[in-house]
Chains A and B, each alone.
Chain A
Amino acid sequence: MLQSAAGTEGEKREGMQPYQEEYIANLRKIAALAARKKTEGHSVESYQEALTGNRLQIAQKVARNMELLREGLFPLLDHLLEAGEEELQELQEFAGILFRVGEELDVGLFCQIHQALLNRARLKKDRNGMIRELYWLGIGRNNRCSKLIGLEYAVIENYTFEMRLCFTEAGAYLKYFDEIEDSETRGYILRARANTALGQYASASEKIQRVRQTLQILQDRYYQEKEPNLPWERYIFMTHRQMASSISYSRENVMTAQDVEAVMESVYIVYQTHMQEAVERGEHPPIHSAFNYYAISYYCGLDTFDGLLNKTEHLMDSTELSDFSAENMYGIISLPAFYLQYLKQFPERISGRTAYIENLYRRILDYVEVFPDAPENEMLFLYLRQLANNYIETADSIPYGAFLLKLLMRFAPDIYIQSYIVARASAVLCEILMTEEPGFFDDIEEIRRIEDLQEKRHEARKFAMACGLLHDAGKINFIYLYARTGRQWFEEEYEMSRLHTIVGESCLKECASTSRYAAAALGHHSWYDGSRGYPASYERLACRERQMVDVISLIDWLENVTDAQCLFTGVRMTFDAAVKRAVSLEGRRFSPLLTARLRDGQIVAQLKKAFAEGRKEACRQLYEEDGLTDYI
């Protein structure tokens, strides 16, 4: 893969506008404020105060960032066609810092800027500018695709196409390599051509063939002699790495013999290069390429399945909990994901390894707990998403739902707090509903079959708590949007954020212990009458948990408009105004069976109290690092 974000290859330029520098500084500050604070030396109260203070500071920074963009960036984009060279260079520089290797400060704004620059280049018929901007826009869009790992291809294909077409168009200029004399543009063309292989393809062969073609181009002496200044060796090596990463297809057994040969060759090249570098530095062989080497050996019949598992375990065991390098992080989090994926193919091998798996999860949680808050976190999130998609629950392992909550507590404490508030208030509302109407949730079989009323109420309450806690589990894929955005969202980000429902459902339905809560994750933004909301795949009348989804949907909405999402959407209401608005949406947005209860002042007061107490309790749990795993 030839993905190289800005700030590399010598295109880094000095100088940005003061508003640009301030914006970037604010983004870094916001990322630091959004992370959970250490609790040593604090009381619960002071910890809660610190959290509140952080939220206030974040709000101020976000407001300031909006001002900076309105006063600095947007007028520039308004006049982009008449902007001078210097302004354009500063803009490029600014965009380059928003998203570069290992640091994703604001990929959304990065894409906006490059889209504007691309439109400008098209209108001005600036060929080199078009090629450059298509490349960067493709890079930005590829990042967006990486957040959707684990989702069905049909859900994400449009994002993939948008990204791929940018690279395709820029790569099409390869035909005119001779005529284009600018080295930088030639580099963009080659890298764009290589990046057309990024993302999912309908078949492994198609992708592998694409990479193979790129290798042929890069190894062609004709091009190399035309532009000797380009880092050809690096391009070729990175393309081999891209080919080696296609090893993942081997786990699906979909490669042809020709594919295997191509992948094997690249795996060996990458492995040998890394080995040589490691020997020169006196280090252990790199975990990533060693695993690829073992995997392809197994795939080609040179090793047994148990041999592969044993070697993978050996690699995982060689990692250090105190080492936060990319390679070690891969070994601790991503490698277990592949290991579990292999085991899922041969479930009979799981029973002999349950203790090992349980220990893996403990190590991962210990590792992420002490992982420093750093820009490199994005890679960590990617690996965690891989792991979540392949999680295997065993009798004594930490339950999957609890694992997800631990991740939220660690990396997105605000989302955890909001989820807890929704859980708590939903449980209160359920209690009220069950007291008035004991059969209210009888569409849910687990509740219907309980005859004892008290037990029935308890089960409904427990179910509501778990649904509330996990309804936003899908936000784990979009932490950059929910927990780290330093401004309001753009429309396309708003669109993207909607996918958290589908991601959440897909995440939860994978494991037996959480599959019951998948409907709440999927349907909590859908309108009661089906006329609006999202996603389209939620069919209320076909969902047996619909009454509970209605409850979560109402409470989550109240939480969102009174607190959670106001930073990103600009909507904020008082609790009473929100209740009034919810009642006005009766029968359309919300179930009339629920809004009828909001007409009762006493019930509203109980809910208001649950919201306030929920926040305190969630803060206490964060302080004590103690999630409510009993409910999951």
Chain B
Amino acid sequence: MYHKVTGRKPYGLKDQELKICKVLFFSHNYATMKGRDFHNKTEGSRHPEQEKDRNCSMQNSDNMANSDQLIEVQKKRIAELEQETAALKEALLAAEEANKAKSRFLSNMSHDIRTPMNAIMGMTSIGLSHIDEKARVHDCLGKIQTAATHLMSLVNDVLDMSRIDSDRLTLNEEPFSLADLIHDISVIVRPQAAQKRQELKIEIGRIEEEELMGDPLHLRQILVNIIGNAVKYTQEDGEIEVRFAQRYVTAKLPEADGAEGMMADAEAAETLPAGKVWLDFTCKDNGMGMSQEFLQKIFVPFERVHSEATSKIEGTGLGMSIVKNLVERMEGQILVESEEGVGSCFTVQIPMMTALQETASLHLPEGASVLIAENRKERAGQMARYLREAGLVPVKQEKGAQAVTWLTQAQYEGHMPCAMLLGEELSDMQVLSLASHVRQLAGKEFPILLVSEADWVQLEYRATRAGINGFVPCPLFKSRLLGTLAELLGGMGADDDAVQRELDYSGYRILLVEDIELNQEIAVELLSVTGVQVEVADDGAQAVEKFRNSPEGYYDLIFMDIHMPVMDGYEATRRIRGMDRPDAASVWIVAMTADAFVEDVRQAKESGMNEHISKPVEPGRLQEILYRQFSG
């Protein structure tokens, strides 16, 4: 059974006490002085008010001895004094608690700062003593970088808390894309989870509005902090499930100690005014969880779980306090449920303003089929649903071999799908192996989109080499999927000029150096479908002349055959590179030949060519080079 605490209730300390704590933390002189004065007054000399009361009581006793009235007055006074004493005791306790928290904070901070500083200093001296061993110095610098990054986040947390405390934090109101935000979060937290071999699932529920208004930076801070904590406090190989959804109807979070879990209160259910939507976020892990006792203090600054298991986990104890403050400032709510040894679940609800949707008209070929190659049923189902909603016909295959069989038969029967969506995994092979074969099977024009949680930057080189020409990041959003598909199908509306420009190479000029007429024809045909302007030279000497007589920067790319009459490709390249003009060194030259030995590749490079492709030329490879040179 989870223990719960909500962000709306006081949490352990009263507001006034918390304020004292905060003041103590950030105005240490004040805190120190107050603590000392208070202490002195309660334990040392008598207070002037007390003195006055004492005198007054003595006079009255002379006049009203033994009277009931006197007794009543005294009783009342005693009661008042008792109340005051109790209040003072309480305040003393609070101040002492605050003082302890401050001491803990200082102790933690000095430990937390010292730990990375020790690493920085230690690694620096190890690096210096092995300065000739590049690998070891590299390793040391990597560790220094990690420690410095941690130190920076520590300082940032403290500064953030200080800003919140002094009411200097203001929230921005700007349009942002929820898809972008979630993708950014995913990019940040996935490597951390991967390092601990944790399974991090980020799922998208019903999304009503993708374009929102708000403060994306602080929203990201809230979400990254919560997921980051889940990663930190969950063991290796653990599981973390993150879910995003939206709704128009209000759902109340339960009070602390209230009913189990989050629930929609039917009576309280009300629809938000137009232009607003609730963003629901949950993060559930099967990590170490928290005790009920700690749960009461989770939002208190500088409080951290103390156990053997957490002793090596870095943190200031400020993160959750910052999160709670930010959520409240966004008029949202936060609920934490947790059980020691079982795990924790954080739920955040924030009302968001919706931004005006950009209504780019996506021209997708209605009724056309799209092949989905994905083993994960849920993901494949999500892709299929989005495609159907856009009027397309999804065809799902779980295995690479099935996908190839289906495509081969579709090609033979003349009903090729308009694209293939390649998912995260297949049950029989790696997705890139399938992409590579489909690129050859289906030709250079066929759109192959990778729909993946992977970081595209890491994957781009291998993926484009395998023939993938579009990437849709996950968590999967309908707008992303259909937008990218429309881009690749060339069906975007007139308002998407940017995309058109990217795919249109009509602004580029290529010099094709090839002696065989048929090869010239084929290459020109393959190249010209992209709009690129192609000029042809029949041999190396002609190519050199054409380049010499062209204005600077005229040619963007040269495809150079090797074996040609009059002058071969090597010599022509050497002569072009040897010209005294800036673009002679920079123009990209690609060897196009059947000579495929390692030595040939090297010889091509030595003569000044930048890369090498084999003949007969695969259309996909040509496309890849154009994409890399002109769009990549």
Q: A interface vs B, CB < 8 Å?
A: 66, 70, 73-82, 112, 116, 118-120, 122-123, 127, 157-158, 161-162, 164-166, 168-169, 171-173, 175-176, 196, 202, 206, 487-491, 494, 528-530, 540-541, 568-570, 587-588, 591-593, 596
The proximity string for B residues 583-617 relative to A, scoring 1 for CB distances below 8 Å and 0 otherwise, is 00000000001111111011000000000001111
Is B563 among interface residues, defined by CB-CB distance under 8 A?
Answer: yes
- Contact assessment for B408 and A172 in the assembled complex, using a CB-CB cutoff below 8 Å: yes
Asked if B138 contacts A490 (CB within 8 A), the reply is no
Give the residue of A73, A80, A157 whose beta carbon is less than 8 angstroms from that of B430. A157
Contact A592 B597 (CB under 8 A): no
Q: With the chains together, A157 CA to B134 CA distance in Å?
A: 34
Chain B: CB-nearest residue to A112: B596
- Given A165-B437, A168-B401, A570-B599, the answer on whether A592 and B132 have CB atoms closer than 8 Å is yes
The reply to whether the CB of B382 lies closer than 8 angstroms to some CB of chain A is no
B427 to chain A, nearest CB (A): 8
Q: 7 closest A-B pairs (Cβ-Cβ)? A: A77-B594, A570-B599, A161-B433, A172-B408, A172-B405, A587-B134, A165-B437
B135 lies within 8 A of A529 (CB): yes
A172 and B597 form a contact (CB under 8 A): no
A-chain residues with CB within 8 Å of residue B595 when the two chains form the complex:
70, 74
Cβ proximity bits B604-632 to A, threshold 8 Å, 1 near / 0 not: 00000000001111100000000000000
Chain A positions within 8 Å of B614 at CB level? 116
> Does B429 touch A at the CB level, under 8 Å?
yes
B599 and chain A: residue at smallest CB distance: A570
Residue of A whose beta carbon sits closest to that of B139: A541
A491 vs B437: C-alpha distance in the bound complex, in angstroms?
A: 19
Tell me if B264 counts as interface (CB < 8 A to partner A).
no
* Whole-angstrom CA separation of A118 from B601 in the bound complex: 22
> CB within 8 A of A491: which of B433, B441, B601?
B601
User: Shortest CB–CB separation between residue A92 and chain B, in angstroms?
Assistant: 16
Mark interface residues in B115-143 (1 if CB within 8 Å of A CB, else 0). 00000000000000000111110110000
Minimum CB distance partner of A79 in chain B: B516
**Which residues of A lie under 8 Å from residue B593 when comparing CB positions?**
74, 78
Q: Are B412 and A494 in contact (CB under 8 A)?
A: no
| Contact A591/B133 with A120-B616, A169-B437, A570-B599 known, Cβ cut-off 8 Å | yes
Write the chain A residue with the least CB distance to B440: A122
Closest to A165 in B: B437
Q: Name B134's contact: one of A116, A119, A528 (CB within 8 Å).
A: A528
Bound-state Cα–Cα, A584 to B433, Å = 39
Cβ–Cβ < 8 Å partners of B441 in chain A: 122, 169
B270 at the interface (CB under 8 A from A): no
With known contacts A80-B616, A569-B598, A530–B138 Cβ distance under 8 A: yes
The answer to whether B563 and A116 touch across the interface, beta carbons within 8 angstroms, is: no
Give Cα distance in the complex from A107 to B122, angstroms.
55
Q: Are B433 and A74 in contact (CB under 8 A)?
A: no
CB neighbours of B405 from chain A (8 A): 168-169, 171-172
Q: Known contacts A82-B518, A122-B440, A176-B412; is A487 also within 8 Å of B597 by CB?
A: yes
Known: A77-B615, A529-B134, A569-B599. A165 touches B404 (CB 8 A): yes
Question: Is the C-beta of B103 less than 8 angstroms from some C-beta in chain A?
Answer: no
CB closest residue in chain B, given A123: B616
The 0/1 profile, CB within 8 Å of A marked 1, for residues 403-445 of chain B is 0111011001000000000000000111001101100110100
Question: Dominant SS at the B interface?
Answer: helix
Whether B430 lies near A593 (C-beta < 8 A) is no
B519 interface residue per 8 A CB criterion:
yes
**Chain B 211-228 interface mask (CB, 8 Å, partner A; 1/0):** 000000000000000000
Given the complex, which residues of B lie within 8 Å of A530, measured CB to CB? 135, 138
Could you tell me the distance between the alpha carbons of A462 and B617 in the complex, rounded to whole angstroms?
A: 52
Cβ distance B140 to chain A, nearest Cβ, rounded Å: 11
Q: Is the CB of A161 within 8 A of B594?
A: no
Determine if B400 is an interface residue (Cβ-Cβ < 8 Å). yes
Question: Main SS of chain A's interface residues?
Answer: helix
B133 and A66 contacting across the interface, CB-CB below 8 Å: no
Chain B residues with Cβ below 8 Å from A171 are 405
Check A78 against B615 for contact (C-beta < 8 Å).
yes
A544 vs chain B, min Cβ distance (A): 15
Q: Does B152 contact A (CB under 8 A)?
A: no
Q: Are B616 and A77 in contact (CB under 8 A)?
A: yes
Q: Which of B134, B434, B518 contacts A79 (CB 8 A)?
A: B518
0/1 string, B529-567, CB within 8 A of A gives 1? 000000000000000000000000000000001010000
Contacts of A591 in B (CB 8 A): 133
A82 interface neighbour in B516, B615, B617, B618, Cβ under 8 Å: B516
For A491, what are the chain B residues with a Cβ–Cβ distance below 8 Å? 596, 598, 601
Instruction: Give every chain A residue within 8 A of B561 (Cβ-Cβ).
Output: 78
Whether the pair A74, B563 counts as a contact (CB closer than 8 A) is yes
Closest chain B CB from A62 CB (angstroms) = 11
Known: A119-B616, A169-B437. 8 other contacts (CB 8 A): A75-B563, A119-B440, A161-B430, A172-B404, A175-B409, A489-B598, A528-B134, A529-B135
Contact with A along B332-376 (1 / 0, CB 8 A): 000000000000000000000000000000000000000000000
The answer on a CB contact under 8 Å between A173 and B429 is: no
CA A593 to CA B131, docked complex, whole Å: 11
A506 to B132, CA, bound (A): 32
A residues within 8 A CB of B409?
A: 172, 175-176
CA distance A494 to B597 in the complex (A): 9
Residues from chain B with a CB closer than 8 A to the CB of A588 are: 134
Check: B522 CB closer than 8 A to any chain A CB.
yes
A151 to nearest B CB, angstroms? Answer: 16
In angstroms, how far is the closest chain A Cβ from the Cβ of B463? 14
Q: Which of B133, B406, B616 has the most CB of A within 10 A?
A: B616
- Taken together as a complex, chains A and B put the C-alpha atoms of A587 and B595 apart, in Å, by 35
Closest-CB distance, B611 to chain A (whole angstroms): 12
Instruction: Pick the contact of A202: B132, B404, B428 (CB < 8 A).
Output: B428
CB distance from A160 to the nearest CB of B (A): 8
Asked if B597 contacts A488 (CB within 8 A), the reply is: yes
In the complex, the answer to whether A78 meets B516 with C-beta atoms within 8 Å is: yes
Q: How far, in whole Å, are A489 and B595 apart by their CA atoms in the complex?
A: 11
- CA of A76 to CA of B563 in the docked complex: distance in angstroms? 11
B618 contacts across to A, CB distance below 8 A = 119
Q: Chain A contacts of B436 at CB under 8 A?
A: 162
Q: How far is the CB of A186 from chain B (nearest CB, A)?
A: 15
Least CB distance, A129 to chain B, in whole angstroms: 13
Query: How long is the Cα–Cα vector from A81 to B596 in the complex, in angstroms?
Result: 18
- A490: nearest chain-B partner, CB-CB: B596
Of all chain A residues, which has the CB nearest B441?
A: A169
Distance between Cα atoms of A172 and B403 in the complex (Å) = 10
- In the bound complex, CA of A398 to CA of B331 (Å): 78
The answer for the CA separation of A588 and B602 in the assembled complex, in Å, is 21
Chain A: minimal CB distance from B282 (Å): 34
With CB as the reference atom, state the residue of chain B lying closest to A71.
Answer: B563
B602 touches A165 (CB 8 A): no
Tell me how far the C-beta of B601 lies from the nearest C-beta in chain A, rounded to whole angstroms: 7
**Which residues of the partner chain A approach B139 to less than 8 Å between Cβ atoms?**
541
Pick from A80, A157, A162, A541: contact of B135, CB under 8 Å: A541
Alpha-carbon distance A490/B440, docked complex (angstroms): 20
17 contacts between A and B (CB under 8 A): A78-B615, A79-B519, A80-B615, A81-B519, A82-B516, A82-B518, A119-B618, A122-B443, A127-B412, A157-B430, A165-B404, A172-B406, A176-B409, A541-B135, A570-B597, A588-B134, A592-B133
The answer on a CB contact under 8 Å between B598 and A81 is no
CA–CA, A74 and B596, complex, Å = 9
Q: Could you say which residues of chain A place their CB within 8 Å of the CB of B138?
A: 529-530
Min Cβ gap A393→B in Å is 35
A66: B residues at CB distance < 8 A: 597
Question: When chains A and B are docked, how far (Å) is the Cα of A491 from the Cα of B441?
Answer: 22
CA distance A165 to B409 in the complex (A): 14
Q: Within 8 Å CB of A528, what residues of B?
A: 134-135
A127 CB contacts on chain B under 8 angstroms: 412
Could you say which residues of chain B place their CB within 8 Å of the CB of A592? Answer: 132-134
Rounded to whole angstroms, the CA-CA distance of A568 and B133 in the bound complex is 32
B401 proximity list for chain A (CB < 8 A): 164-165, 168, 196
Q: Which of B563, B593, B602, B615 has the most CB of A within 10 A?
A: B615
